[in-house]
Every structure is written in C-alpha cells, then in structure tokens.
Amino acid sequence: MDKPATPHSAPTGAVAAAADLDPEETAEWLESLDALISQRGADRGEHIVRTLVDRAGIRSEPIATTDYVNTIDAAAEPEYPGDEELERRYRAWMRWNAAVMVHRAQRPGIGVGGHISTYAGAATLYEVGFNHFFRGKDHPGGGDQIYFQGHASPGMYARAFMEGRLGEEDLDGFRQEKSREGHALSSYPHPRLMPEFWEFPTVSMGIGPMNAIYQAQSNRYLEGRGLKDTSDQHVWAFLGDGEMDEPESRGLLQLAANDGLDNLTFVVNCNLQRLDGPVRGNGKIVQELEGFFRGAGWNVIKVIWGREWDSLLAADDDGALVDIMNTTLDGDYQTYKAESGGFIRENFFGRDPRTRALVDGLTDDQIWGLKRGGHDYRKVYAAYAKSLERNGKPTVILVKTVKGYGLGQRFEARNATHQMKKLTLQDLKDFRDHLRVPITDAQLEADPYQPPYYHPGTDAPEIAYLQERRRALGGYLPERRPNASGEIALPDNKAYEVAARGSGKQQAATTMAFVRVLKDLMRDPEFGKRIVPIIPDEARTFGMDAFFPTAKIYNPNGQNYLAVDRDIVLSYKESTSGQILHVGINEAGSIAAFTAAGTSYATHGVPLVPVYVFYSMFGFQRTGDSLWAAADQMTRGFLISATAGRTTLTGEGLQHADGHSPLLAATNPAVVTYDPAFGYEIGHIMRAGIERMYGPSSEDRNVIYNLMVYNEPIVQPAEPEGVDVDGILGGIHRISAVDSPQTHLLASGIGVTWALEAQQLLRDDWGVQADVWSVTSWTELRRDAVAAEEDEFLGRGSRTPFVVSQLAGSEGPVVAVSDYAKDLPDQVRQFVPNDWATLGADGFGFSDTRAAARRFFKIDGPSIVVRTLQLLAKRGEVDAAAPAQAAEKYRLLDVNAGTSGSDAE
C-alpha cells in the first residue's frame, strides 16, 4: 500500500471530501500504521488494512490511484550519494553533444535526421542510472540488462563519446551506415548493425516492454534450472508514455506479476506527448497507468514533482494545491511548459486563492523553475533505489518530464518537437547558455550547420568521476558480448538416428517425426539441457505432452495444487526447475521468450537453443514484427510451424488454413525456412541448424531455422542409402527417379505425397515417365540463385545456381506444387529453363476434408497429372486430347471426387 505523499494531518482526495470529526484520533491511527509498515513492511501493512476493512464489513471500491504527487515523501528520500554538480556538468555536455550530433546529421547534403527532444527530456533518468545503478557485465553479480528507449539513442552515443568509446568521426557517422562505414552509428538500438554496442532493439514500440518482461523471466529460468546464478541481475526498461498505448506494452504485464519478477523495473518517461501531440490531453496518463499497473499487480512509484515543490506541498495544509494537481489535465500541463512562469501563476496557481497565496513570494522565474520530477536527480534516485527492494513484485516508475527540456521555447513541450531535427543559430546559443557549455558565439557562427562537439579532455575531473562510476558499476553500457559463451558440446549421431529409421508400417505426421528427434536431442547428456521447448498452448496437439513428466513445465512457484490428471502417465507437471516454457495462449509472449533464450549466448554467456512450436498460421502472420526484432537481436533457435499447410488442418477453417507462412518468412533475411516431406529430412535439417548456430567451424551463426511440419499421418520412409544430404540442405533432392523421365514433379512438404501419387497415375494411366523431387526449401533455392546472379552482375565471378545444377540434364517440363500459394514455388521459376507450371492453394482457406480441399485448389495427385499432360501436349509429346480425357476421367471439377489425403489424425 503506497504511503501518502501529503502530511497525514491533511488527507486529500476522496478522504478530504468528508469532514474529519476527530483529527487527533485519525493521526494516532496513521502513526500506528506508519510504525507497522516501518517495522514489518508495506505488504504487512496492506494485509492489516484489508483485514480491518473486511472485519468492519465496509464495502468500498479498491483505490486504483493515489494523489498526483510523488509516491515517496521528501522526508523519506535517501541521501543522494553522488556529486550532483559534477554530474550536472557532464550531463549538460552529453545533452549538448546529443543535440549537435542530430543537428549535424541534418546539414545540407546529408539530411538523415534524428531525434533531439526525447533524450533532452530523459537525460536525468539515464544519468542517475549510469552513475549509480546500471551494472555492467564485469560486475560481480553479472550485470544488468537495459532496454533503452529507442528515440533516446543519441544520448547513449553522446555518453559513449564522453567515455572515449566513440570519437567525433563516429558521431558524424550517425545514420550513415554505408557511406561512413567504419565510423557509422545506427539510428536506433540495432544489435545487428552494431553487434558489440547495442544489446536489445527497442524502437519498434511495444516490443521492448514485452521482451524486457520475458528477459526478466529468462533470468529466473536460468537460475531455476541451475544454468547460471542471476540473482543479482536486474532488468530495466525505459519506455514512453505514448508507447504504453501499444497493446504489447501492456498486454503481458500479468506474467511479471504472476512470476513475482521483482528483478524488473519499467521506467515510463511521462512527458505527456506522443510523436504528434498529447497522449491524453483530456485526461491524465500518469493516473491511468498507475491504475492499470496496480491492477496488474505491480508496485507503482510516481515521480511527478522536483524538490522545488516540496516546500509548497508542505505548506498546503488544506490540500488545495494537491486538489489542483489532481484535477489539472495533461493538455494543460503541456501548455504550461510551453508558456512562462507568469502564465503558470495565473492559470495554475491562480485557480484558487489559497494556492495563489502559496506563490505570492515567488518571482515568475522561480515559478518557471519549479521542475518536474524527472529532471531532479534526488527524486529519480529515490525511486530507483526503492524499485530495487525485493518484495515479490515488479515495479513501474512513472516519471513526469518535459519533452525537449532545455532546448528552448521552440522545442519544449511543443507538439512538433519530435519532428524537429535541427536548431537555428539562436537556438544553439540559447541551448548553450542554458547548459553552460564553454563554446563561444564565434565557434557557433563559424558554421551554424556544424557547431562543435564539446569534450573537456580525459584529465578533466568530471571525466575522471564519470569513469570511476562506471568502473565501480562493472564497466560501460550498453555493451554486447557476442562471443561470451565459447564452444559447446554438440549432440552426437545417436540423437538423429530416430529420424533416419522412418515409421515402419505405422503412419506418423512430420510433426511427430520432429517431436521424436527433439526428444532424443533433449536426452543428450550435455547438449540436452540447452534446449528450451516453448509452447504457447496445445502441447497435446503437437504430441509434446510426453515431455511433461520428465522435462516438466517451468513455474517459479512449482506445482502447489493436486493435478486432475495425476494418475495418467503423461500428467501435467510443473516445477521450479522445469525445462518447458508453456506460456499459454500467447504468441507474442512466446516470441519474447524465444528471443530471450535465443540470445542468452550473448546476454549471459550461456548458449541455449529455443525450440518454439506453434500453429503455423499464428507465427509470422501474427508476430512478424517481433521476429524482425529477434533477427535484429541475432537470436538463434528453431521455429516449428506446426499444423502447416492450407489443406492439411482441414476442420479449422479460414483463420487456421496457412497458405503463406513460408512466403512471409522469406522476407526475413535471418530466417532459414524448410518445408520437409519426411522425418529423415528433418533430422538432417535440425543437425545442420544446430551446427550452424553453435558449431566450431560456422561462419554465420546468427540464424533462425523455420521448419514447416504437418499433422497428416503418412508412412515415414527410412532414409535411403546414399541419400543426397547436400540436396536436402541446399533445398532440393530427387526422391524417386525413373529411366528417361519425360517430366519432373517438384513438390514440398505434404505435397510430395501428391506428386508420388501423380507419378504413379502418369505411368499407369498415360504411359508417361516422371521423376519426383522433394524441394525442402524454395526460399533457400531462391536466395542461392539470386546471390549467384548478383555475383555475376558485380563481377565477382560466375557460378551455376544450386537449383539449376541439381536439375541439370533434366529435360522436359516441370510441374511445381505445394500446400501454399503459387508464389512460393514461383520464387525459383525464373532460374529454371524448363517449361514450368505451378499449382498452389491461392486464396482463403475453408473447412472441409483434405481430399475435397485439395481438389478445390487443384493441387492433388490427379490435378498434377492433368497439368503435366497439358504441358506435354503443348510440346506434342502426348495426344492433344489427353488432358481433357484425364480431367473427365478423374472428375477434376468435382470436389467430391478428390482422394488425395488421409482424414485420419
């Protein structure tokens, strides 16, 4: 329960509305409660208050918000441990350099822009952290993970410049990553672009908050499984109040509360502005967020007012000032900071004679100098220190600031400030004067487009102090250490044998073939512990319930209930050391967990291999932006797009019928997508993926393997002797060859079974010889061919694309088919010289039998036959009437005549 910020003798808000008949008695009760909280903690105080309310039979709504004042009383603030004056000076220099860097990047001939105002308003929030809280990777406790607000990146570069990590030439390379290569800075936190500097990408707003939550969970997961002691590490996420409108920003708060993640702090920079205007002009975003986070089970600390307000609040005996604070709208607060001290006197304090009297002794300049809490070192320090108290709850700090603080009246609190990227000569002079930066008018006037950066020299006392603070806290931040993990023991051949054996006479879907490989990988005595299975829900649908009794489901609280299925072999088992992350119906959270685990090799020096299994339709389509962020963060792991295909999950209908996931995945350069037909292909692909991510000879480790697997049972063949492994991994290999083939059937995934059916029909009914190829990856074939084309274009040599070399000597037409849109096979159409026809499942899906759906889309075995005969007839190699005869024979236009596909599941 939050301690009131106003004196106990003067209740405010709803309490103040009712006359206190016995103030002395009230004070005694409050003193007693204060003593209890002081001795036993806030949780005990809240328990007693709730018990008293229940005992009295009082019905009241829970208090969602507190007064619009600081949560922490001025009297309760800890002593500030730093040298405020030294810190103020170099913070001013950083603010200057950050703004100048962006301004110089907007000069004529460059014009790449940047954002000045976010860091200007948030500098204190970061500097208090850098000077006293944020622990680097060399800290004995392991260091913190910090999600910097994306638009504040110039401030982090400005600090690195003061630290000597970056030079002026680097700052001048801001947003010029190719033209200034070697001295370039990415626009925002992008680990892939600056792999030794940035650790977490955050500027796709909403992704930072949920990734921070799952990073905090991942820290606890590592500890629970005995992989690393993370007990002294903390996760900080810096967010904007406008960003909190993103559903992702709020949608996963319950996990942090349910898991008791008191190793997590959100710092929400409440400057009351979005990118183009106020967040809640007619409301109060701080109060809204307080109620939301409280309801979600978080600690809430508000930092609203700077120290200059303390004496005014202490003198507010009747609560008039607090009442005005409570009722003033955000749109008005924004306007006040764009006006003047006199305007504030008349329009804020002047609303009540009592509050007007409070400031009668202050000049307009003194009123203008009443800072907001986010610009006060002491207030921010007190909030950060409080957030580190471990009480079983995550903490959010709501800090009120001014966007563009100190940049002058053209910038401060203006709606357009986010888009303003350069300063006039007068702006520069005013900003310099405000910050007291020792740069002359002549230096600014020499070239207003390139004002100088400022650094006092490495021997300056301010720099010595700054460096000492970072040494004491474990080194520089941000920092990423991609090679922190070293080599790991990879699984041996035995782990993949189950894939090569096939399913004998039994039928098994490729989903089950994958699960069998995963199960054996998890049994590997060294490598198995590194696998992190992630399932959003319906593990039983994927046949993964067999993992429950042995690997167990991770839960930081263990399993404290009597399971309803405890008597069955595959019962639900939760454990503090569980290996499976079973995140519920939550694809966004699953990708966040995937990202945390898949980057643990750099974040913690502990390599993990996340294996995320999901309904394919709800992967790239639903969480594509998060997967781009995962690629940016250089996540490694496996995405298993289960229940794949447009016609394979037949009963579920349109929103489950996936005909395009591989196409969406193809747009992400870090994702390597395969569409295997058989279990033995899966075994080779998974082995290659593991070796590529963590093998000693790998040169390109930062990849994500995406496998399409199906829920349709078929007889899984044993691996043929002398199988073309290079073909499987390269994207295409021949699985059924004939003498003198007249045509070639290229199919992927479940489509291979239709191609094999067509091969037999062509031979038996029409005397046509066809060979069948399993295309394990249309996307990798295209990437290879495009790269070959690019090499030739740029004079780097000439080579034959893999798909062309594999099909070399294969005369005759090609029919390509898959359970996806025609665009998927057509990725390689331009590179193959043969006559080509594509069959695919374009359009929307629907509910029906597999056979009927495939006949409707004309992708089943008979459809392949008819299309093949059409190509051959056009070449004069079969009777011209054969295609029409085949269409009639197989009743091609009758969806009820389809037979391709098993309906058994």
* Confidence label for 62 from pLDDT (cuts 50, 70 and 90): low
Instruction: Specify whether the CB–CB gap between 92 and 436 falls below 8 A.
Output: yes
pLDDT on residue 413 = 46
Pairing of strands 814-817, 743-747: parallel
Report the alpha-carbon distance of residue 303 to residue 383 in Å, rounded. Answer: 7
Q: What sign results for the dihedral spanned by CA atoms 588, 589, 592, 593? A: negative
- Per the CB < 8 A criterion, the answer to whether 198 and 175 are in contact is no
Over residues 600-622, mean pLDDT: 95
CA atoms of 868 and 638, how far apart (whole Å): 36
Whole-number pLDDT of residue 569: 73
Average pLDDT over residues 573-580: 93
Q: Which two tokens stand for residue 685?
A: 């692909």
Per-residue model confidence as pLDDT tens digits over 691-745: 999 998 888 899 999 999 999 999 999 999 999 999 999 999 999 999 999 999 9
Q: Mapped to the 3 state alphabet, what secondary structure does 572-595 carry? A: CCEECCCCEEECCCCHHHHHHHHH
Confidence of residue 19 (pLDDT cuts 50, 70, 90): low
- pLDDT score recorded for residue 16: 45
The pLDDT score that the predictor gives to residue 2 is 42
In this predicted structure, the answer to whether residue 119 has a pLDDT above a threshold of 60 is yes
422 DSSP assignment: -
Band of the pLDDT at 272, cuts 50, 70, 90? confident
Q: Looking at per-residue confidence, does 232 or 410 come out higher?
A: 232
Give strand pairing partners of 400: 270
For the stretch 834-838, contacts whose Cβ atoms lie closer than 8 Å and that sit 24 or more positions apart, written own/partner, are 834/744, 834/807, 834/810, 835/871, 835/874, 835/875, 837/813, 837/867, 837/868, 837/870, 837/871
Contacts 24+ apart (CB under 8 A), 806-810: 806/727, 806/730, 806/732, 806/733, 806/734, 806/773, 807/732, 807/744, 807/773, 807/832, 807/834, 810/741, 810/744, 810/771, 810/834
Radius of gyration of the chain (CA): 32
Confidence of residue 13 (pLDDT cuts 50, 70, 90): very low
Cβ atoms 375, 304 nearer than 8 A: no
Using an 8 Å Cβ cutoff, are 451 and 439 in contact? yes
Single-letter amino acid code for the residue at 668? N
Query: Percent of the chain at pLDDT above 70?
Result: 95
pLDDT at 111: 87
Side chain identity, residue 851: A
Backbone dihedral region of 297: left (phi > 0), alpha (psi from -120 to 50 degrees) or beta? left
Count other C-beta atoms under 10 Å from residue 887's C-beta: 18
Interacting residues of 794 by C-beta distance below 8 A, sequence separation 6+: none
Which of 68, 67, 64 has the alpha carbon at shortest distance from 295? 64
Helices (H), 145-191: 153-163, 168-171
Mean predicted confidence (pLDDT) in 202-207: 92
Long-range Cβ pairs for the range 448-453 (8 Å, 24+): 448/424, 449/103, 449/104, 449/107, 449/108, 450/104, 450/107, 451/100, 451/103, 451/104, 452/100, 453/96, 453/97, 453/100, 453/101, 453/161, 453/168, 453/171
What is the overall mean pLDDT for the chain? 92
Cα angle, residue 809 at apex, residues 803 and 812 outer, rounded to 5°: 90
Which candidate, 159, 173, 89, 161, places its Cα nearest to that of 130?
A: 159
pLDDT tens digits, 690-703: 999 999 888 889 99
Question: Could you tell me the two tokens for 413?
Answer: 């609190």
Q: Which H or E run contains 772?
A: strand 770-774
Record the tokens describing residue 378, joined without a space: 């002491």
Instruction: Quote the pLDDT of residue 7.
Output: 37
Query: Which of these, 335, 400, 329, 324, lies nearest to 357 by C-alpha position?
Result: 324
Question: What are 7's two structure tokens?
Answer: 């004196």
- pLDDT 10s digits, 129-142: 999 999 999 999 99
* Residue 410 CA to its chain's centroid (Å): 35
CB 803 within 8 A of CB 832: yes
- Residue 783 half-sphere exposure toward CB, CA atoms < 13 A: 17
Determine if the peptide bond prior to 478 is cis (ω within 30°). Answer: yes
**Residue 903 pLDDT:** 59
pLDDT of residue 319: 94
Query: What's residue 863's pLDDT?
Result: 98
One DSSP character per residue, 12-80 reads -HHHHHS--S-HHHHHHHHHHHHHHHHHH-HHHHHHHHHHHHHHHT----------SS-SS-GGGPPPP
Find residue 451's DSSP bridge partners: none
Q: How confident is the model at residue 409 (pLDDT cuts 50, 70, 90)?
A: low
The H-or-E segment that residue 815 falls in is: strand 814-817
Q: What contacts 511, CB < 8 A, 6 or more positions away?
A: 542, 543, 642, 643, 709, 710, 711
User: What is the model's pLDDT at position 412?
Assistant: 60
387: three-class secondary structure by DSSP: helix
Lookup result for tokens 């998927």: 824
- Beta bridge partners, 746, equal 773, 816
Region class of 232: left (phi > 0), else alpha (psi between -120 and 50), else beta: alpha
Q: Is the pLDDT of residue 6 over 50?
A: no
CB 494 within 8 A of CB 527: no
Whether the pLDDT of residue 153 is over 50: the answer is yes
pLDDT digits 0-9 by tens, 159-176:
999 999 999 999 999 999
In three-state secondary structure terms, 714 is strand
Q: What is the mean predicted confidence (pLDDT) over 751-768?
A: 98
Residue 416 has pLDDT above 50, yes or no: no
Choose among 590, 554, 547: nearest CA to 574. 554
CB 407 within 8 A of CB 420: no
Q: What percent of the chain has pLDDT over 90?
A: 77
- Residue 227, phi then psi, degrees to nearest 5: -90, -25
Helix (H, G, I), strand (E, B) or coil at 884: helix
pLDDT of 406 over the 80 cut:
no
Averaged pLDDT, 222-228: 97
Those residues whose C-beta lies under 8 Å from the C-beta of residue 433, and which sit 6 or more positions away, are none
pLDDT mean over 584-588: 91
- Which residues on adjacent β-strands are paired with residue 474? none
What local confidence, expressed as pLDDT, does residue 4 receive? 38
In tens, the pLDDT along 473-526 reads: 999 999 999 987 778 999 998 999 999 999 999 999 999 999 999 999 999 999
- Roughly what angle, to the nearest 10 degrees, separates helices 425-435 and 84-105? 170
Decide if pLDDT at 8 tops 50.
no
- Picking from 401, 338, 342, the residue whose alpha carbon sits closest to that of residue 367 is 342
